[in-house]
Amino acid sequence: MPKTRILFVCLGNICRSPLAEAIFKHKIRAKKLAHLVEADSCGTANYHVGDTPDPRTIKNALKNGVVIDHLGRQLSARDLEAYDFIIAMDRSNHTNILRLSNATDHAHKIRLMRSFDINPSGDEVPDPYYGDEEGFQNVFEILSHSIDSFIEFLEKEHLKS
Ligand code: 4NP
């Protein structure tokens, strides 16, 4: 049984998507589902290829008990074939991912992160890059509960051991 493959995508791949990847892996390990699923993250832009995540993101994640281990990479057309779900942090990421796709049959697997949020106060994960710690903590909390619902969805529909 091949693993279900999840790709989290933001703009720079140093704040939101590496955090989403790390929270997702943390929760998947805690639920003992790591043999069924794998995850990575990337950016639509190439500004931070090879870079470690933003130090503010690393620090905030640690404060919340999550370790991030990732180096920046840019989304490629091949990712659209290779992954089962491509999870965009905001509408602009979503549009840019769709633009890279030349096949309409990719559209069903390209989703907004907050489309899984059961109690959404908005439809985007806001970019914390120009903000302060409060913004980073807000992003952590949005991602944490959106990912809880995303994992529930995967368990119901996709993760069969
Ligand atoms: P991210 O945040 O998309 O959540 O990684 C950003 C990081 C860097 C930049 C923009 C957004 N930047 O312009 O360098």
pLDDT tens, residue by residue, 123-135: 999 999 999 999 9
Neighbours of 39 (CB within 10 A): 21
Q: How far apart are CA 23 and CA 3, in angstroms?
A: 18
What are the average pLDDT values for consecutive 10-residue runs of the chain, which has 161 residues? 95 98 98 96 98 98 98 96 97 95 82 92 95 97 97 89 60
Q: How far apart are CA 87 and CA 8, in angstroms?
A: 5
53 close to 70: Cβ distance less than 8 angstroms: yes
Tell the CATH topology of 4-157. Rossmann fold (3.40.50)
Position 116 scores a pLDDT of 96
55 close to 19: Cβ distance less than 8 angstroms: no
Position 118 scores a pLDDT of 87
Q: Which atom of ligand 1 is nearest to the CA of 11?
A: 3
Ligand 1 in reach of 124 Cβ (< 6 A) = no
Active site (annotated) includes residue 127: yes
Position 119 scores a pLDDT of 81
Ligand 1 in reach of 14 Cβ (< 6 A) = yes
Ligand 1 in reach of 72 Cβ (< 6 A) = no
Position 104 scores a pLDDT of 66
| Span from the CA of 70 to the centroid of ligand 1 (angstroms) | 15
